[in-house]
Amino acid sequence: MRRNYLGEFEELVLLTVAVLHEGAYGVAIADELERQTGRSVSLSAVHAALHRLEEKAMLNSRLGEATAERGGRRKRLFTVTALGSRTLQSIRETRNRLWDSISPQALPALGL
């Protein structure tokens, strides 16, 4: 499979959409990313990554129902597509293969 390139942040956003499943929208994604990584995440960076991932056909979005807490505005909810899922699996396999290739003798030098 020819894999579209994902930067680290796009990969994290795609993974976070998978984690949040049906509840994946901009603010929830940013909050979960901050919780999981301990890094400050701007909402505009999340929205830009979501847009790129949707353009790459790795995410789909739809408008949810209007809610009172948002002043009647609707949330844009995101879900991972089959391509997005295959891409995440390919990334995981590559990373696991690389981790498995580290020799036991090198682990102490890496602090592992």
Express each pLDDT in 33-45 by its tens digit. 999 999 999 999 9
* Residue 72, token pair as written in the block: 């009647």
Sign of CA dihedral 83, 62, 76, 44: positive
The fold of the 8-102 domain, in CATH, is Arc Repressor Mutant, subunit A (1.10.10)
Kindly report, residue by residue over 4-62, the tens digit of the pLDDT.
Answer: 689 999 999 999 999 999 889 999 999 999 999 999 999 999 999 999 999 999 999 99
Q: What are the residue boundaries of the structural domains of the chain, listed by start?
A: 8-102
Q: Can you list the positions of beta strands (E) in 1-112?
A: 59-66, 74-80
